[in-house]
């Protein structure tokens, strides 16, 4: 266990240093940053994106991509909102919300594995179709849910809300799956080289299918948390989140070509982006600059990550 | 070779990091001064949270607010924030939360959604922050459900839209086909402006053949109008709920050679639209004094902070803009 922790710190040292750097920088620049209320603000903003990025991380590890997560979040949230406004019970609505997510993931996975169509294209199609369905179901109108979801959004420990705790538990669970189960090792094997994985007896199709279903399910869970957070179901919820999820996963050390990455790294990626977002607001950086800076951080993080890998490589050879 | 390559990478990386740090410093250099001033005198801090800062209308609002702040910088500190597009409700909620975390004294907000922003505004009020609503009115029913009252400072959009609509209607004949290009249908402004146009259409017996949604955006309106004109070439007038969409509509009409047959009106009087009004391509638009909208909100917030009372809603003027 001890070595695990040390290994983990070694693995993620770049990200942790980056995060500490941001915290120190913003604390120096703004007198309001280094406070408990800022900490609470940051952590309560991330649960839904954390779930999306976790799913994305696993999909990236098997060498795929899921562009539909934002739309699936929107669609499952819309279904949840409609059922709740029609006075169905909370359990029914949440169940339907999860079913939608799982169905979307199943569809993605099925098409990808059945007809060998690139995941990029399949999930891009799902992104459009899902958003269209969301608008159809909601009539493009925000459904206000009042206090119906407060029992999910409100409970908190010292201001840290239940959604974050739930999301962190999910992250740890998926991390456990990836590291300690055959399924996780199969994911890495498929991402490294699908052909080899297949030849060594891994049921590639089944694993891929399960990965897309997981991503769809996590997106619908994120949809639930998103609705709870806004006390309403917004037909435009999740637009562009696929890119935030990919950015967080990539900062967290996941490779777009598969076979490499970690869910915990992705979580750090999410925290780094959220810290950056809140920090930039607190030191009142103009809006366009925020985007320039966020873009630079994404690219820099990946360069540093690759660079770190290279040094190791040199050392081995020398 | 390898070692050389590694050195090169290292140099380049250092270079990148330096550029990055420089960017950070340049982009937030201004705040350092603000902070120094802040430490000396305890002034109220007012956060202005707007919708899309890429939209000229909100940009004008922001500039108006900044100017007001410059002239009254001894009275309060101003923080201006916006979201990247008008649909990003979650981001706007985040901004309000961040402002609560920063313990500002008042929040002046142009909500991206009239319902979904209510709960977070309530949270702000619970922390003792004064909240003033501008531009897009928060939903009365939801406010009541949450048992809070947030004063609205802004123009009567329905009245303004009706005036613009009447100006167009008077230049058409009874029974002429017309179309409405609406904004995001959930937004209070869009609903009010549409109602205003409908008032004008009814009063003059026009024939509404299309009631479409352009999401406030130029490109969307352009597509919608192009499709509409092939489908219904008899249309004589188009009511657009904002000027960006009116510009999109006009370029679609130009592309389809419909320009001399169809009259277009908009809303907001952004500078590009103003030019088109002078050229005669846009029949009319309405000016709700964008540069003053946020200022009215800020002045109200300051008043609240001084007196400790919450004032009633206040209506601000809307003027009809036509070719001189």
- A29, A140, A303: residue with CB nearest B186: A140
Residues above pLDDT 90, as percent of chain A: 55
pLDDT tens-digit series, residues A182-211: 999 999 999 999 889 999 999 999 999 999
Q: Supply the pLDDT for residue A55.
A: 96
pLDDT-derived band of residue B10, with 50, 70 and 90 as boundaries? low
CATH topology assigned to domain B41-150+290-316: Rossmann fold (3.40.50)
Q: Which residue has the tokens 């001894």?
A: B74
Question: Above 90 in pLDDT, residue A65?
Answer: yes
Question: Above 90 in pLDDT, residue B6?
Answer: no
Q: Supply the pLDDT for residue B7.
A: 64
Contacts of A140 in chain B (CB under 8 A): 184-186, 213
- A41, A280, A284: residue with CB nearest B79: A284
- A30, A234, A310: residue with CB nearest B113: A234
Residues above pLDDT 70, as percent of chain B: 91
Q: Supply the pLDDT for residue B73.
A: 87
A 101-140: CB under 8 A from B: 140
- B6, B53, B97: residue with CB nearest A314: B6
CATH architecture of B157-287: 3-Layer(aba) Sandwich (3.40)
**Chain B contact for A286 (CB, 8 A cutoff):** yes
Q: Say how far residue B229 (Cα) sits from the centre of its chain.
A: 28
Q: Supply the pLDDT for residue B27.
A: 65
> Nearest CA of chain B to the CA of A151: how many Å?
14
Give the predicted TM-score (pTM) of the model: 0.79
Across the interface, whether the CB atoms of B213 and A140 are under 8 A apart is answered yes
Residues above pLDDT 70, as percent of chain A: 94
Q: What number is the average pLDDT over the span A102-122?
A: 94
A 207-226: CB under 8 A from B: 226
Best interface-test mutation with A: which of B12, B37, B94 has the largest number of A CBs within 10 A?
Answer: B94
Best interface-test mutation with B: which of A77, A142, A308 has the largest number of B CBs within 10 A?
Answer: A142
B 90-119: CB under 8 A from A: 90, 93-95, 97-98, 100-103, 113, 115-116, 118-119
Question: Above 90 in pLDDT, residue A282?
Answer: no
Q: Supply the pLDDT for residue A317.
A: 43
- B16, B28, B145: residue with CB nearest A300: B16
Best interface-test mutation with A: which of B26, B45, B97, B147 has the largest number of A CBs within 10 A?
Answer: B97
Q: Supply the pLDDT for residue A310.
A: 58
Burial track A256-294 (b if 16+ CB lie within 10 A, e otherwise): eebbbbbbbbbbbbbbbbbbbbbbbbbbbbbbeebeebe
Q: What number is the average pLDDT over the span A225-243?
A: 90
Specify the higher pLDDT residue, A14 or B276. Answer: B276
pLDDT-derived band of residue B4, with 50, 70 and 90 as boundaries? low
Q: Is B8 helix (H, G, I), strand (E, B) or coil?
A: helix
Specify the higher pLDDT residue, A8 or B193. Answer: B193
pLDDT tens-digit series, residues B165-183: 999 999 999 999 999 999 9
pLDDT-derived band of residue B154, with 50, 70 and 90 as boundaries? confident
Across the interface, whether the CB atoms of B116 and A289 are under 8 A apart is answered no
Q: Supply the pLDDT for residue A36.
A: 87
Contacts of A170 (CB under 8 A, 6+ apart): A51, A54, A218, A221
**Chain A contact for B14 (CB, 8 A cutoff):** no
B 22-81: CB under 8 A from A: 23-24, 27-28, 30-32, 34-35, 53, 79-81
Find the range with the poorest average confidence among A2-11, A184-193, B13-22, B307-316. Answer: A2-11
ipTM over 0.85: no
Question: Above 70 in pLDDT, residue A90?
Answer: yes
Angle at A99 between CA A95 and CA A104, to 5 degrees: 155
**Whole-Å CA distances, A110 to A85, A203, A314, B103, B322:** 32, 14, 41, 50, 58
Across the interface, whether the CB atoms of A310 and B6 are under 8 A apart is answered yes
**Chain B contact for A44 (CB, 8 A cutoff):** yes
Q: What number is the average pLDDT over the span A118-132?
A: 95
Taking the C-alpha atoms of residue B14 and residue A152, their distance in angstroms, rounded to an integer, is 46
**Chain B contact for A230 (CB, 8 A cutoff):** yes
Residue ranges matching CATH 3.40.50.2300 in chain B: 41-150+290-316, 157-287
Across the interface, whether the CB atoms of B94 and A287 are under 8 A apart is answered no
Q: Supply the pLDDT for residue A2.
A: 59
Q: Supply the pLDDT for residue B41.
A: 55
Burial track B268-305 (b if 16+ CB lie within 10 A, e otherwise): bbbeebbebbeeebbbbbbbbbbbbbbbbbbbbbbebe
Taking the C-alpha atoms of residue A230 and residue B254, their distance in angstroms, rounded to an integer, is 42
Contacts of A106 (CB under 8 A, 6+ apart): A209, A212, A213, A216
> Nearest CA of chain B to the CA of A285: how many Å?
5
Taking the C-alpha atoms of residue B275 and residue B178, their distance in angstroms, rounded to an integer, is 24
Question: Above 60 in pLDDT, residue A311?
Answer: no
Across the interface, whether the CB atoms of A281 and B84 are under 8 A apart is answered no
- B32, B101, B115: residue with CB nearest A142: B115
Dihedral over alpha carbons A136, A138, A142, A145 (to 10 degrees)? -160
- CB–CB contacts below 8 A, A to B: 124
**Chain A contact for B84 (CB, 8 A cutoff):** yes
Q: What is the mean pLDDT of chain A?
A: 88
Across the interface, whether the CB atoms of A37 and B79 are under 8 A apart is answered no
pLDDT tens-digit series, residues A153-163: 888 888 888 99
Across the interface, whether the CB atoms of B28 and A29 are under 8 A apart is answered yes
- B35, B95, B186: residue with CB nearest A142: B186
- B9, B30, B81: residue with CB nearest A281: B81
pLDDT-derived band of residue B185, with 50, 70 and 90 as boundaries? confident
Dihedral over alpha carbons A282, A222, A71, A214 (to 10 degrees)? 130
Q: Supply the pLDDT for residue A142.
A: 84
Across the interface, whether the CB atoms of A285 and B27 are under 8 A apart is answered yes
**Whole-Å CA distances, A109 to A100, A123, A135:** 14, 9, 24
Specify the higher pLDDT residue, B37 or A289. Answer: A289
pLDDT tens-digit series, residues B29-76: 554 444 444 444 578 999 999 887 777 778 888 899 999 999 988 889
**Chain B contact for A296 (CB, 8 A cutoff):** yes
> Nearest CA of chain A to the CA of B202: how many Å?
25
Across the interface, whether the CB atoms of A310 and B186 are under 8 A apart is answered no
């Amino acid at each position: 266990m001890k070595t695990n922790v040390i290994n983990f710190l070694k693995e993620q040292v770049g990200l942790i240093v980056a995060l500490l750097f941001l915290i120190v920088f913003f604390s120096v620049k703004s007198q309001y940053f280094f406070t408990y209320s800022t900490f609470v603000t940051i952590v309560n903003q991330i649960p839904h994106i954390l779930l999306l990025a976790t799913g994305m991380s696993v999909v990236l590890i098997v060498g795929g991509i899921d562009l539909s997560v934002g739309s699936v979040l929107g669609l499952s949230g819309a279904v949840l909102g409609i059922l709740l406004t029609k006075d169905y019970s909370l359990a029914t609505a949440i169940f339907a919300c999860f079913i939608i997510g799982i169905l979307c993931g199943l569809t993605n996975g099925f098409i990808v594995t059945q007809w060998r169509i690139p995941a990029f294209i399949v999930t891009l199609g799902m992104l459009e179709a899902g958003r269209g369905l969301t608008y159809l179901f909601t009539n493009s109108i925000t459904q206000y849910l009042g206090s119906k979801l407060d029992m999910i959004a409100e409970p908190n420990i010292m201001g840290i809300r239940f959604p974050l705790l739930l999301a962190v538990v999910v992250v740890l669970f998926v991390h456990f799956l990836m590291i300690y189960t055959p399924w996780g090792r199969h994911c890495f094997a498929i991402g490294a080289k699908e052909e080899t994985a297949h030849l060594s007896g891994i049921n590639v199709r089944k694993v891929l299918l399960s990965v897309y279903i997981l991503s769809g399910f996590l997106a619908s869970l994120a949809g639930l948390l998103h609705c709870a957070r806004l006390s309403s179901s917004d037909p435009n919820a999740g637009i562009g989140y696929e890119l935030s999820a990919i950015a967080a996963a990539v900062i967290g050390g996941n490779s777009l070509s598969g076979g490499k990455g970690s869910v915990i790294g992705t979580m750090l990626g999410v925290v780094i982006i959220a810290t950056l977002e809140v920090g930039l607001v607190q030191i009142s950086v103009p809006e366009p600059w925020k985007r320039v800076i966020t873009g630079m951080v994404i690219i820099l993080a990946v360069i540093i990550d690759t660079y770190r890998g290279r040094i190791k490589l040199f050392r081995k050879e020398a | 070779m390898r070692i050389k390559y590694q050195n090169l990478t290292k140099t380049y990386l250092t270079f990148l990091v330096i550029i990055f740090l420089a960017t950070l410093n340049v982009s937030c250099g201004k705040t350092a001064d603000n902070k120094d001033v802040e430490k000396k005198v305890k002034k109220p801090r007012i956060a202005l949270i707007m919708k899309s800062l890429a939209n000229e209308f909100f940009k004008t609002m922001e500039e108006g607010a900044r100017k007001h702040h410059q002239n009254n910088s001894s009275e309060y500190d101003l923080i201006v924030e916006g979201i990247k597009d008008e649909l990003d409700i979650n981001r706007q909620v985040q901004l309000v939360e961040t402002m609560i975390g920063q313990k500002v004294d008042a929040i002046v907000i142009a909500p991206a959604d009239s319902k979904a922003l209510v709960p977070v505004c309530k949270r702000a009020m619970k922390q003792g922050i004064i909240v003033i609503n501008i531009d897009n009115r928060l939903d009365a029913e939801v406010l009541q459900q949450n048992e809070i009252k947030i004063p609205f400072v802004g123009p009567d959009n329905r009245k303004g839209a009706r005036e613009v609509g009447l100006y167009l209607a008077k230049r058409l004949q009874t029974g002429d086909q017309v179309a409405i290009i609406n904004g995001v249908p959930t937004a209070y402004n869009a609903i009010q402006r549409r109602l205003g146009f409908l008032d004008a259409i009814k009063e003059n017996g026009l024939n509404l053949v299309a009631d479409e949604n352009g999401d406030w955006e130029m490109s969307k309106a352009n597509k919608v109008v192009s499709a509409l004109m092939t489908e219904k070439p008899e249309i004589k007038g188009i009511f657009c709920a904002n000027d960006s969409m009116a510009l999109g509509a006009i370029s679609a009409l130009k592309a389809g050679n419909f320009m001399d047959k169809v009259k277009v009106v908009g809303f907001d009087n952004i500078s590009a639209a103003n030019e088109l009004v002078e050229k005669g391509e846009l029949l009319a638009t309405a000016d709700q004094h964008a540069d003053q909208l946020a200022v009215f909100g800020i002045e109200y917030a300051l008043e609240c902070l001084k007196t400790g009372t919450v004032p009633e809603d206040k209506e601000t003027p809307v003027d009809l803009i036509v070719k001189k």
